[in-house]
Amino acid sequence: MNDLPHIIGSDIPASPPEKPRIIRPSRNFLYKNYFLFLLTAVVFIGAMIIFLLFVNTWIGSSRGPTVQQQLTDMYVLLSVGFTVLWLIAFVIYGIGMYIYVKQMVFIVHGSEIVVKKGLINKTEKHVPYRTVTHISMRSGPFDRLFNIGTVEVQTAGGSSSSLESMAEEKLEGIVIYREVRDYILTQLRLFQQQEKKDSTLVTGVQDLSSGLREDALLGTLQDIKTILSGKFQIIEDKLAEISKELKDLHKPF
């Protein structure tokens, strides 16, 4: 039960890895599902046997030994039949669950989490860090029995008050689920810091571009003012000459 999930790399680094971190469920996750199936079967078959035994004792004792023997035979037949059916169902379930768990892959990138799963309908879901609002972990009674847990990734699209129902994706059946949660949180913080730096850089470029446009516009206005000032000076000189000529015309000879 101390089987660790396959993780590329030995330690969880503090800086973003060059390659994606690949995480797979532990075999304990498979054993847990087998255990729950068998527990359900035992409870169901046990309840059925107790019920049939009660019916056999209650009815058979009042109907005579012949009827009681017939009920006993039917009781044994039903018990064996249900047990065989549950065994067949367990074999089918076991094979299907084994394939399902083997195909589950969780990939932690520098900017998103990818979850691949599915038996018949295979899915590949991408959860970008920019949409992640909450990272949590969960380990129920049966999970603790098999030393595993689940990391839940919640996004802004959730509408329920329950974190489990709001979880966009679940990284299930992980032994070192605490370390995986901390690793994802580290990657998320690094991504947010980089996003903040990029946003600051873009804002600075936009401010610089805006400042350059304002300077260019101001320079253009100053050029227009200089040109117009020169034109106005020429007009004033012309008006002064015309005024002088008019005064000369009005002088007596």
Average pLDDT, the chain: 76
* 167-171: long-range pairs with CB below 8 Å, 24+: 167/136, 168/125, 168/127, 168/131, 168/132, 169/113, 169/115, 169/125, 169/127, 170/115, 171/23, 171/106, 171/113, 171/115
* Residue 77 confidence (pLDDT): 80
Cβ(181)–Cβ(137) below 8 Å: yes
pLDDT band at 94 (very low <50, low <70, confident <90, very high): very high
> What is the DSSP-derived secondary structure letter of residue 234?
H
- The overall pTM is greater than 0.75: no
pLDDT above 70: residue 109: yes
pLDDT above 90: residue 44: no
pLDDT band at 251 (very low <50, low <70, confident <90, very high): low
pLDDT above 60: residue 19: yes
* Residue 5 confidence (pLDDT): 41
Q: Which of 49, 75, 46 is nearest to 60 (CA)?
A: 75
pLDDT band at 163 (very low <50, low <70, confident <90, very high): very low
